[in-house]
Structure formats: structure tokens, C-alpha cells
Amino acid sequence: MSFEKLGLVPELLSAISELGYTKATPVQKKVIPFVIGGKDVMATAQTGTGKTAAYALPLLQILSKRDIKEKTKRIIRALVLVPTRELAAQVEKSIKLYGKNFSLVSCAVYGGVKFTPQTKKLERGVDILVATPGRLLEHVKQGNINLSKVEIVVYDESDRILDMGFWEEIITISSMIPKKRQTLLFSVEQSKSVKKFSELTLIKPVKVTINNQGDLAKKVRQTIYICDQDKKSALLSYMIGSKNWHQVLVFTKTRKSADDLGKYLNESGLKTLILHGEKAHSKRTKALKDFKNGTIRVLVATDIASRGLDIEDLPHVINYELPGDAEDYVHRIGRTGRAGNLGEAISLVCKDERKVLKDIERLLKYGLQVEFFEGFEPKEWIEKEANKHTIKAKIERSQERRSKTANSVVGMRRKKANDRNAQKKATVKKRKKVTKRD
């Protein structure tokens, strides 16, 4: 469906056409008309489905129609709450791109960076604020943010916000926003806490569910390589090198394994940077920038990067270790196969991870293709195969022996029969001679 049919104004149509969007994605088709119509919306959709535009486009349209006079100081009229700094930066960037033909001002505030530049921006006046809950409340405490004029609030990836333990913060923030407002609640999964929160915050919401597990299977080729834990780093570096991949996002389960793997890959000659929560924000931003522009070949990240990381055309995602939570598998592999492109997700799975693999398959509702990578087959499998070969060889040897024995028995029987025949012939000949003489 084209964006014109969704009721978007020309300023937005021209901005998204410049971005190359020609058709609305399913979540955009379903959500945009309701938001324009002023409804509360509760939507379940994976990352990578175009959900940011699904709320940001109508939000911009609504605010632009009620744009304030030039001289009045801007005050926050839309608030977008997100779980991570990466997603905050990403969402604000999208809002700026979509709203380039309006005079609306947006700003993102999140932790891990200095307060002052954010405070200065807030002081100049902002229409749309994108924020993580912790830093938002710190600004509120310092008197830098006033939420009393918010007209639209978006909770993006609310399940993740709540999973991260921000329940109280979210309730506090919601209580600061006027009751008369429009609320849009987005989540990847319909968890119990999202449901509970939705009951507290939404009024007669329109419910939209985009079932995209099947889409994921169509967009992303998923392969599981069973291998030994201690061979994973060698296999990974061999795979990247031999297949000549140049932009690979690798996920590890812990910060330590991200650090160890990063070191190993750099030593193997693959330019690698590491992204995890312990890294300073400036280092995280630089790692992302270098990865996006191709300065580095591999980015090793913990799950912090599995959401909110949008790199167009990311061709390969590798799970060096499966995540503890099956849902994170979906987020991780959702980093590839985005915006209509095909992607590839490879998981290196060792014996201890087979239970998580089963959980993932249960969540996906289909089995994943399991293979061995030649030369990196797990020891257990090699032993089993070797054992099979030994048994096979034993069987062949005994068959050989049996057939030899059988041959010699047959030979002996044949010899005996031949001897008997010869003896018979000799006796007959003798008798004939005797009869002639008589």
C-alpha cells in the first residue's frame, strides 16, 4: 500500500520518498491511520519491521498541524521512551529525517554521556523528546524537563523497558504526563508486565499484532553449526576469512567472551571492534560508526546491540554463543534481512547450548537447519563417526574372512567331487578293458 493512501501529508511523503520508502510495511499500514485518527494503540511488532516510522510519521503530522507560533518557547509535546541509548539515538535520527520538512525540534537524552550538552538543548526548547527512563528522570529532578504539556507518549520496545526493571520509573514518568493524551505502546512480545502496564496506561486501544516470525524465516537464512566450544573462535575467523565477508556482526553472551573474541580476531588479522555495556559511550558510538562505514570488518557485541542497531544491508549476523533468552535470538538475527533485503544468520552451537536451541525452535515454531562445518566437526561426532568406521571396517574384515573360508570350503568340495569323478571314470575304463579281454 502506498503512503498517500494512509493519509500522510506531502511534507512527510516527500521526506520518506527521499529515503527510498515506496510501500508501507504491514505495521505502518495498520498503525498509521489509527494514530492519525487520535486513537491509543497497542502494537506488537519485531524490530526491523518499520515500527519507528509507524509511530513517528503520524506523530510528526499531528504535531505539525498544531505547530506553535515561532516566538513562543517550545515545550515538549511528544515523548518517546526507549530502553537503550542506541535505540534513543536511532529513533531521534529517524524522527529528524522524517520531519525534515517541518520546523519541529527533537532531542534525545540518555545515560553514559555528559549532562550539559543535553541540558543546553533542552533549554533552547524541544517539541519531541526521545529518552531512556533513568536519564529522563535525572533531568526532571534537575528541573530541565517538564512533561506537563505532553500530548502524545510512545513506549517503544516497552517489554524491554519493563524487563530491564524500569517499572517504577515508567509509572512515575506516566504520572507526570497529563491524563488527556494519546498513548502508543509498542512491544516485541506480549509479556505479562506489558499487559499489566497497558491496562494502566491505555484507553480503549486499537490492538495490532504483526506476526513476523514467519517473515523472519523468509528474510533470513538461518543455519546452525554444531561445534566444540574451544573451536568456535578458530571456526569463526576461518569462516569470515574463507567466505571473504566484510561486515559481520557477532554476538557473544558475556562481556568477557566479547573481549576475548575481539582480541583473538584482531590477532588473526580481522579488524574488529567490541561493543558492550562497559565501554564508554564515545567508544560505543565510534565502534558503530566504524562498522557502518566499513573501516572495521567485524563488530563483536553483547545483547546491548541486538536492539536499536540499524545498519542498512547488514549481510551477516553470527551468534558466537546463543543468548540466555530465546527471544534475544530473534532480536539478534533481526539485525540482518532488514528493509526488504535478504540476510544470513549463523549460530555456532556447542553441546551445552542445545537446550537453548530447543527453546529457540519452540519460540520460532519451526526447526532450524543443523549442519557441521567441514574441518570443525565436534569431537563427539568425529568419535562417533570413527567408531562407525571402525565397526564398518571390522564387519568388512570378517566378511572378507568368511568369504575366503567359504571359497576354500567350496574349493575343497569341488576338488573332492572332481577326484570322485576322475576315480569313477578310471573304474569304468578299467571294467571296459576287462570285458574286451573276456
Tell me whether strands 206-209 and 41-44 are parallel, antiparallel or unpaired: parallel
The verdict on 53 binding ligand AMP (CB under 6 A) reads yes
Q: How far is the CB of 122 from ligand AMP (least distance, A)?
A: 25
CB of 54 to ligand AMP, least distance (A): 7
191 near 167, Cβ under 8 Å? no
Residues ≥6 apart with Cβ < 8 Å to 36: 6, 7, 8, 58, 61, 62
Is 116 buried (19+), middle (13-18) or exposed (0-12) by CB count in 10 A? Answer: exposed
Residues in the chain: 438
Determine phi and psi for 147, rounding to 5 degrees. -100, 10
| Binding segment toward ligand AMP, per CB under 6 A, in 19-27, 141-149, 195-203, 391-399 | 19-27
Residues 6+ apart with CB under 8 A from 397: none
Query: Which part of the chain contacts ligand AMP (CB under 6 A), choosing from 49-57, 60-68, 274-282, 399-407?
Result: 49-57
Question: Is residue 50 a contact point for ligand AMP (CB under 6 A)?
Answer: yes
Read off φ and ψ for residue 348, nearest 5 degrees. Answer: -95, 115
| Cβ density class 191-214: b for 16+ within 10 Å, e for less | beebeebbeebbeebbebebebee
25 binds ligand AMP per the rule CB under 6 A: yes
Contacts with ligand AMP by CB under 6 A: the residue count is 16
Biggest distance spanned by C-alpha atoms of the chain: 153
Of 112, 165, 177, 101, nearest to 138 by C-alpha is: 112
Per CB under 6 A, 186 contacts ligand AMP: no
Residue (1 or 395) nearer to ligand AMP, CB: 1
Query: Taking CB under 6 A as the criterion, which residues in 327-356 touch ligand AMP?
Result: 338-339
188 near ligand AMP (CB under 6 A): no
Per-residue binding letters, 299-328, with ligand AMP (x by CB under 6 A)? -----------x-x----------------
48 binds ligand AMP (CB under 6 A): yes
**How far apart, in whole angstroms, are the C-alpha atoms of residue 241 and residue 263?**
16
Asked whether position 378 contacts ligand AMP by CB under 6 A, the answer is no
Q: From the list 6, 30, 52, 82, which residue makes contact with ligand AMP (rule: CB under 6 A)?
A: 52
Phi, then psi, of 259 in degrees rounded to 5: -65, -45
Of 173 and 314, which has the nearer Cβ to ligand AMP? Answer: 314
- Say whether residue 156 binds ligand AMP (CB under 6 A): no
Q: Quick one: 14 or 407, whose CB is closer to ligand AMP?
A: 14
Which residues of this chain interact with ligand AMP, rule CB under 6 A? 21, 23-25, 28, 47-53, 310, 312, 338-339
